[in-house]
Amino acid sequence: MGSLRLSVAQTPAELDTTDARLNWLCEHLPQVASERADLLLLPELFACGYNIGETVVARAESLDGPIRAAISKLAQQFGIAICYGFAERSGNDLFNAAVTLSTKGEVLSLQRKLAIPPGYEKDHFTAGQGCAVFECGDFKIATLICYDAEFPETVRNVAGMGADLVLVPTALSTGWSWVAHKMIPTRAYENGVYLAYANSAGVENGMAYLGASVIAAPDGEEIARAGAAPQIIYANLEKQRVAAAQARLPYLNDRHRLNLS
């Protein structure tokens, strides 16, 4: 029924410029290619940094900006689809966004963060709208950004749209261990989908990241789990496992039979 070799990069938070982040990616893509990965997932706002305050305004760019051009070339050079977070400028608005590029460097998906949490993000970003499912090989894939995946409704929505795999770039600090270790595998289990969660590692301008990136299977099993340090994790995904999980626990079908009124 189809397979996908997935890689999730838990990148160093201390990379303090966009050039440093692109250099890190360039340096590590040969390793990812040697692992025969089809798709690489990077963290939330990977391209510019997350906890950077007003600097995010200067580092924001349109979808067709120089960051996209650089990563498109790398995707083509190494034959790997790449999903990365960046600050998107569109007119007068800034969006916390994630784009997935194909092995040809073409845009497969652009997702804007739907729920903007209070604090730094609320001061800078506009909420996005809507979700989409795209194809990479034999897999149907959706992207949700960090806080968005903490709502049961969002993962259920994209699973109902046919997603086999949900990519979640995140920026999770050390105070939220339960989210990474309990909630995220549960989201995979309750929808019968794969869920990949890419966090940063280390400290960025005083913010300590949890790490703990994970690839969770449709039955909730942790196929791969990172520790607290920078790391790249890998997993082989099988569509058959999605079908089996959803047949065993048909939540997506039986939810329509619930009489809640």
- pLDDT per residue as tens digits for the range 160-204: 999 999 999 999 999 999 999 999 999 999 999 999 999 999 999
| Annotated catalytic residue 238 | no
| Residue of 44, 121, 204, 238 marked catalytic | 44
248 pLDDT above the threshold of 80: yes
Tell me the two tokens of residue 130. Answer: 């809507």
Catalytic residue among 88, 146, 204, 239: 146
What's the mean pLDDT in 150-168?
98
| Active-site residue, from 48, 83, 88, 113 | 113
Whether 1 shows a pLDDT value over 80: the answer reads: no
Whether 146 sits among the annotated catalytic residues: the reply is yes
Going from the N-terminus, what domains does the chain have, and what CATH number goes with each?
Answer: 3-255 (3.60.110.10)
H or E segment and range at residue 123? helix 120-124
Convert the pLDDT of each residue in 93-145 to its tens digit. 999 999 999 999 999 999 999 999 988 899 999 999 999 999 999 999 999 99
Q: How do residues 20-60 score in pLDDT, each as one tens digit?
A: 999 999 999 999 999 999 999 999 999 999 999 999 999 99
pLDDT at 195: 98
CA–CA distance, 133 with 159 (Å, rounded to integer): 9
Say how far apart CA 90 and CA 191 lie, in whole Å.
33
Query: What are 112's two structure tokens?
Result: 């804007």
35 and 236 in contact (C-beta within 8 Å)?
no
